[in-house]
Amino acid sequence: MPFVSEKPAVVVVGADKGGVGKTTVSRTLLDYFGAQGLPVRAFDTESPKGSLKRFFSDITEVVNLRDPDDQAKVFDTIDTSTITLIDIRAGLLTDTLSLLEEVGYNQMVRDGLINSAVLHLIGSTMDSFGEIDQIAKLLNGSKHCIVLNRYNGADFFKGIDEVTRQALALGSSMIDIPMLEPRAMELVDAAAVPFSQFEKDPKYSFMYRGKVRAWEQKVFAQLDAAGLNIV
């Protein structure tokens, strides 16, 4: 089911392992919500430098989620924007979700006061199965969107279809992000602009703008199917 427009939405993007293309997913989400004309803000927890902020400097703040004051800065103000996106640094997802249960955030989700989703990126190794189960147990009420990001051409769990099916069934939906041609990704990264801006700006290559546009449309279709749109 899609999010309900009458209440704020919090979207957490994270993984307990690094190198799974987490910030790329956050970048597409900010484009996705922006395309819907929704007020959105983002928190980049790769303190102190941040990587998401490089692409969305005007709406992104870098925070340290191990700092109680920064925790309050994020979660005390979720009613100030329609969408709050939190890009969790690698290794901090489980700790963050445990904290949210402890402070009563999950109860607010269960009470219907907050739209909440966790986009949980997994790797292409068997270790990720245990991570899915662990994260699922911490999400009491939030959407649990398991994300396969094929940014490096990974072939997720090939040959173990039944094990894969059982593991992925622990989530409320699965989002399968196709790989963007590496050269196109390089050009967008070098430009340090959102994908949506790159694809519209005629100063960039016509061919690569078209490839980025077609790729992001496929990603948007996956996000629609996961119920991340606002109605």
Closest CA to 9 of 91, 94, 131, 119: 119
pLDDT given for residue 169 in this prediction:
61
Closest by CA position to 229, among listed 35, 78, 56 = 35
pLDDT of amino acid 160: 46
Q: Is 229 exposed, middle or buried, given 0-12, 13-18 or 19+ CB atoms closer than 10 A?
A: middle
- On the CB side of 229, CA atoms within 13 Å amount to 11
- Cβ atoms within 10 Å of 197's Cβ, excluding its own: 16
pLDDT per residue of the chain (231 residues) written in tens, 0 to 9: 789 888 999 999 998 777 788 999 999 999 999 999 999 999 999 988 889 999 999 999 999 999 999 999 999 999 999 999 999 998 889 999 999 999 999 999 999 999 999 999 987 666 666 777 788 888 878 889 989 888 766 665 555 455 455 556 656 788 989 999 999 999 999 999 999 999 999 999 999 999 999 999 999 999 999 999 988
Helix (H) or strand (E) holding 213: helix 206-225
User: In this predicted structure, what is the pLDDT of residue 135?
Assistant: 85
